[in-house]
Structure 1
């Protein structure tokens, strides 16, 4: 799946998220697509999804967290 399709799916998920669960949904999407976006910078991610650049730090955190979660048995394909 290419980056533009991933960004579109993330934008859709964020737009469908209840207002009080936006940040949680964003984190979940970052974890879900961390492997496919491993060569993307946080700036590129934010621009692609259309979110504030300040969320770039969250993207980096979630990408690092994903490796720990996968080591513990998380299957990101099920998210």
Structure 2
């Protein structure tokens, strides 16, 4: 899947998230696509999805957390 397609899927998921679940959805999407986006910077992620640069830290955190979650049995394809 291309980066642009992933960014569009994330944008759609965020647009459809309930107002009080926006950040939870953002974190889930970051975890879901962490492996496919491991080669990009947090700045590139934020630009691609149209987020404030300050959320780049969240992208880095979720990418680091994903390896631990997968080691514990998480299947990111089920998110």
Scaled by the length of structure 1, the TM-score of the pair is 0.99
Q: Distance in 2 between matches of 1:19 and 1:53?
A: 20
Q: Which runs of 5+ in 2 are unaligned?
A: none
1:73 shift after superposition: 0.2
Q: Which runs of 5+ in 1 are unaligned?
A: none
User: Match of 1:50?
Assistant: 50
The number of equivalent residue pairs is 79
Q: CA RMSD in A?
A: 0.2
User: Match of 1:2?
Assistant: 2
After TM superposition, which residue ranges in structure 1, 4 or more long, deviate above 6 angstroms?
Answer: none
1:51 shift after superposition: 0.5
